[in-house]
Amino acid sequence: MSKSIGAQTVVKVENQPRGGIIAYWTVTSILAASMMLSGIGQLMQYGGNIELVTGLGYPVYVLTILGIWKVLGAIALVVPGFPRLKEWAHAGIFFLMIGAVFSHAFASDYGFPMILPISYAALNIASWALRPKSRKL
């Protein structure tokens, strides 16, 4: 005869499927690397960045502002913890990329210059949608 004293606690842990985690980290790594390299290029004013922003009608100092935010956003996406910071990083990247698309559109700079920010925005949405439960608020 067995007696049960106290209550038994059962914890159900819901794990994301392995494929989902691999997809999340693949997309997020590509996004973070792209943002980091783009941000560093803007901070260094490397490879046509000056012509790009001046052609859109922005002053050159905008490169420094965008570069800093891209580097910080990329770091925020990959460091462990800080789910609220990650939400803000995703929102910032999305608005930055959509702003770039509209800047190109308003400057009548259609075609390839618009494809890159659209693809970054799509990667950002995919990363946000695939994030594991530990990275959600």
According to the model, what pLDDT value does residue 134 have? 77
pTM of the entire structure?
A: 0.82
Domain ranges within the chain, ordered by starting residue: 18-135
Predicted confidence (pLDDT) at residue 117 exceeds the cutoff of 50: yes
Predicted confidence (pLDDT) at residue 112 exceeds the cutoff of 80: yes
Query: What integer best gives the mean pLDDT of the chain?
Result: 89
Closest CA to 131 of 93, 68, 80, 92: 80
Write out the DSSP string of the chain: -----S-----PPPPPPHHHHHHHHHHHHHHHHHHHHHHHHHHTT-TTHHHHHHHTT--TTHHHHHHHHHHHHHHHHHSSS-HHHHHHHHHHHHHHHHHHHHHHHHTT--SHHHHHHHHHHHHHHHHHHH--GGG--
User: Considering the chain, what percentage of its residues have pLDDT values greater than 90?
Assistant: 72
Q: How far apart are CA 9 and CA 11, in angstroms?
A: 6
pLDDT digits (tens, 9 = 90+) for 74-101: 999 999 989 999 999 999 999 999 999 9
